[in-house]
Amino acid sequence: MIKNKLFIVTISISAFVAIGMKLPYHHSENLKVLPKDISDAKLDSMMQSYTAALGVQCSFCHTPAQNTDSLDYVSDTNPMKDNARGMMKMVIDINKTYFYFDKNTKPEYLNVIHCKTCHKGEPIPPTQ
Ligand code: HEC
Ligand code: HEC
């Protein structure tokens, strides 16, 4: 009996530690457009590409977190985030409809037409 309890406690602690250790690296809690199984490295590189394409910082789309200097990436309170989601859907759609020839790549990851194609480093694309 005592052994059993010890076993359960040990399992619980291991599970807790496993979840606890995973949390800080799991960055896909509120994805509505990108694949939910996206790797952190891929998510990070896509976010970096948005900032470069629009010539902005992460805070252009992401809300400041309460009580820290950091940003709350999960929050949707910055309306620019939903603007960006619309653009992401458009880009996925264009690539999928007109350029989607590699069936082994998720259309979300196709990089034929991308933000930079139009934005050229500006939040509002230059018209000339
Ligand atoms: C042009 C707007 C834009 C910029 C700039 C931007 N992001 Fe994002 N970010 C988004 C959108 C939109 C989503 C949600 C994507 C979805 O719904 O699939 C997102 C999601 C995320 C998430 C996942 C949050 C979650 O749901 O768990 C992280 C982490 C993140 N961004 C980090 C960054 C970092 C770091 C930067 C700066 C290098 C950055 N973002 C710059 C628009 C932006
Ligand atoms: C086919 C051209 C095109 C592509 C590709 C494109 N955009 Fe845009 N985007 C525009 C135009 C034009 C505007 C300004 C007009 C508007 O807001 O409707 C704009 C506006 C925006 C805005 C609003 C800026 C503001 O200050 O109001 C955001 C955010 C944005 N784009 C993000 C993105 C992201 C992120 C990508 C890549 C996933 C992307 N765009 C790809 C053409 C494009």
What digits encode the pLDDT tens for the residues 50-106? 999 999 999 999 999 998 889 999 999 999 999 999 999 999 999 999 987 778 889
Ligand 2 site, CB within 6 A: 50, 54, 80, 83-84, 87-88, 91, 113, 115, 117-119, 123-125
Q: Which domain holds residue 94?
A: 29-119
- Domain contains 5: no
- Domain contains 21: no
From the list 85, 57, 62, the residue with the least C-alpha distance to 73 is 62
- Domain contains 109: yes
Of all residues in the chain, the percent with pLDDT exceeding 70 is: 79
Q: What is the best residue among 39, 47, 54, 108 to mutate for testing ligand 1's pocket, by most ligand atoms within 8 Å of CB?
A: 47
Residue 41: C-alpha distances to residues 51, 86, 94 (Å)? 16, 23, 24
Tell me if 42 CB under 6 Å of ligand 1: no
- Domain contains 81: yes
- Domain contains 64: yes
Contact predicate 108/35, CB 8 Å: yes
R_g (Cα) of the chain, nearest Å: 20
pTM, two decimal places: 0.86
- Domain contains 7: no
| Number of domains the chain is built from | 1
- Domain contains 23: no
Distance 13 CA to ligand 2 centre (A): 47
- Domain contains 10: no
